[in-house]
């Protein structure tokens, strides 16, 4: 009986011990996210004192030290995380970042090779290795990395491909949709950066603050690796976060013969958490080779009017993904 009790107490102590270490990591991560690096380092250190084999604590502490430009301390933590788990890719990437910061580019390549060996879809690893390969004269290897990164949907890969790997700019893709002229649609708002372009359309006699119908068009380069089904799910989850009663209805979807897969659905919202006014949207999402194109027409009604549904379905189907030099 005493032996059983002893084993039970030991198990309880170890479990509590591990939970405490993980709690310190979580607390540190919250401070880390807020850029309170010194506070995060303190919590990660407490986590390490509670569990000296907690690799994530060493890595995250190293990342904070790196953010504070304490490169020697950062490298020590990254090395310790690798000692605990050599197949943990994050600290290998951390080591590469330290070497790159010190402009020791060739030394940075070795840990990057290891990162990509462990996880060839590791965020930014292909981009950074491509940049360092270009910096050290390996243009062919750089272009191979940028091409792989582009296929994985990495941000800015296309920029580096244009910069290092082509003598002429790559053809530019866009989605063309001509809104009905007789309805007097105008651009109410337009925003664009190197990854996302958004255009909001309203009737000429209305405003963004007061509208009855609103059109929306967007292109998202970094989302082109998504399926249209996954994109639909993401847009619905975003709607539910603001309006728990939102309803999703799939209307139509392309078959396997379509050149560009597409999906049409409605998201109907009777009210929002912060606004009692209803809004319903009919979406048309199409997947291009260079971007995901997400478009919708919105009305201020709890359900999308059935008498308008087919009109807008037919309209969106006139849209085309085009490529121009």
**Regarding predicted confidence, which is higher, 189 or 151?**
189
Mean pLDDT, range 241-248, rounded to an integer: 95
Task: Report the share of the chain in percent with pLDDT over 90.
Answer: 70
pLDDT at 17: 42
The answer to which of 57-71, 124-138, 211-225 has the lowest mean pLDDT is: 211-225
Identify whether the C-beta of residue 195 lies closer than 8 Å to the C-beta of residue 221. yes
Residue 187: is its pLDDT beyond 90?
yes
Instruction: State the pLDDT at residue 172.
Output: 84
Residues of the chain with pLDDT > 70: what percent? 91
Question: Is residue 62 scored above 80 in pLDDT?
Answer: yes
Confidence category of residue 15, pLDDT binned at 50, 70, 90 = very low
Average pLDDT of every residue of the chain:
89
Give me the CATH code for the 173-324 domain, please.
3.40.1000.10
CA distances from 143 to 111, 126, 224, 291 (A): 19, 10, 20, 20
pLDDT digits (tens, 9 = 90+) for 285-305: 999 988 899 999 999 999 999
Q: How does residue 315 score in pLDDT terms, banded at 50, 70 and 90?
A: very high
Segments making up each domain of the chain, as ranges? 2-165, 173-324
pLDDT score of 47 more than 70: yes
Given this model, what pLDDT does residue 7 score?
43
Task: Report, in angstroms and rounded to the nearest whole number, the Rg of the chain calculated over CA atoms.
Answer: 26
Residue 223's pLDDT band (boundaries 50, 70, 90)?
low
Query: Pick the residue with more confidence: 102 or 1?
Result: 102
pLDDT confidence tier of residue 190, bands split at 50, 70 and 90: very high
Which of 12-21, 88-97, 153-162, 190-199 holds the top average pLDDT? 88-97
Domain range 2-165, its CATH number among 1.10.1670.10, 1.25.40.10, 3.40.50.11540, 3.40.630.30: 1.25.40.10
Q: Provide the pLDDT for residue 45.
A: 92
pLDDT band at 86 (very low <50, low <70, confident <90, very high): very high
Q: How confident is the model at residue 263 (pLDDT cuts 50, 70, 90)?
A: very high
Q: Is the pLDDT of residue 313 over 90?
A: yes
């Amino acid at each position: 009986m005493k032996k059983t009790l002893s084993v039970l107490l030991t198990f309880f102590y170890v479990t509590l011990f591990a939970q405490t270490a993980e709690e310190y990591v979580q607390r540190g991560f919250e401070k880390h996210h807020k850029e309170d690096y010194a506070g995060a380092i303190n919590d990660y250190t407490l986590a390490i004192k509670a569990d000296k084999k907690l690799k994530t604590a060493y890595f995250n502490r190293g990342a904070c030290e790196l953010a504070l430009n304490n490169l020697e301390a950062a490298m020590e933590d990254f090395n310790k995380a690798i000692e605990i788990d050599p197949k943990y890719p994050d600290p290998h990437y951390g080591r590469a970042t330290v070497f790159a910061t010190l402009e020791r580019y060739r030394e940075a390549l070795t840990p990057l090779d290891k990162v990509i060996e462990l996880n060839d879809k590791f965020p930014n690893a292909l981009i950074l290795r491509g940049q360092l390969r270009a910096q050290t004269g390996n243009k062919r290897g750089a272009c191979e990395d940028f091409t792989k990164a582009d296929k994985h949907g990495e941000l800015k890969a296309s920029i580096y491909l244009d910069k290092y790997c082509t003598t002429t700019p790559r053809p530019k893709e866009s989605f063309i949709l001509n809104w009905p002229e007789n309805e007097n649609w105008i651009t109410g708002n337009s925003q664009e950066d190197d990854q996302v372009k958004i255009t909001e359309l309203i009737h000429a006699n209305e405003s963004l603050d007061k509208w009855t119908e609103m059109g929306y068009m967007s292109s998202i380069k970094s989302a082109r690796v998504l399926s249209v089904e996954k994109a639909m799910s993401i847009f619905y989850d975003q709607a539910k976060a603001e309006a728990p009663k939102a309803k999703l209805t799939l209307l139509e979807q392309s078959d396997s013969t379509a050149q560009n897969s597409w999906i049409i659905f409605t998201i109907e919202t009777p009210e929002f958490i912060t606004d009692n006014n209803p809004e319903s949207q009919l979406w048309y999402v199409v997947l291009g080779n260079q971007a995901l194109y997400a478009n919708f027409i919105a009305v201020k009604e709890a359900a999308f009017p059935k008498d308008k549904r087919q009109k807008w379905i037919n309209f969106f189907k006139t849209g085309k993904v085009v490529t121009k030099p």
